[in-house]
Amino acid sequence: MPLTIRSIQLSDNEPLAILIRTVFREFKIDKPGTVYTDPTTDALYQLFRQPASAYFVAEEDGVIVGGCGVYPTEGLPEGCAELVKFYLAADARGKGIGNKLMQQSIEAARELGYKQLYLESFPELAKAVSMYEKAGFRPLPHALGNSGHYACNIWMIKQL
């Protein structure tokens, strides 16, 4: 089976949580104040039942290799959503899969009526940060909204 990008399903919860935590350990950012310890990481399907949110899963040969979504994080400015839970398995990187997931999420944000997309990241995820910059995200001097991910120290925003 080739690459498939689809909406999240209930059966995706466990494989996505494993994938996310594996990526955090790989980059040594598995610490409090991140998605690593966020209880919603184990219930992404339920989280993305929230109105005005969307989450997409990338499957390669029937195996989940990544995910990315948009979420109306509390405290963000009117018309702004957060690009969230964007992770790729190590063997899926460098193939354009991440860019496809991100573009699908950006398009979903537009369709949901958002005017801006915000994200939080880490210097350890430099390749991802570079991809965000190429997609038009610009740095911010401080966090926006109330994600609860206080350990993140890169904040970016994109006009849609």
Q: Looking at residues 43-53, what average pLDDT do you find?
A: 97
Local structure of 118: helix, strand or coil: strand
Overall pTM surpassing 0.85 (yes/no)? yes
What pLDDT is recorded for position 121? 92
Task: Evaluate if residue 151 carries a pLDDT over 80.
Answer: no
Q: Determine which helix (DSSP H) or strand (DSSP E) holds 103, and give its type and residue range.
A: helix 97-111
CA distance 136 to 134: 5
Task: Evaluate if residue 101 carries a pLDDT over 80.
Answer: yes
Length of the chain in residues, anyone?
Answer: 160
What pLDDT is recorded for position 49? 97
C-alpha distances in Å from residue 21, one per residue of 12, 113, 157: 14, 31, 25
Task: Evaluate if residue 145 carries a pLDDT over 80.
Answer: yes
Residue indicated by tokens 């991802």: 128
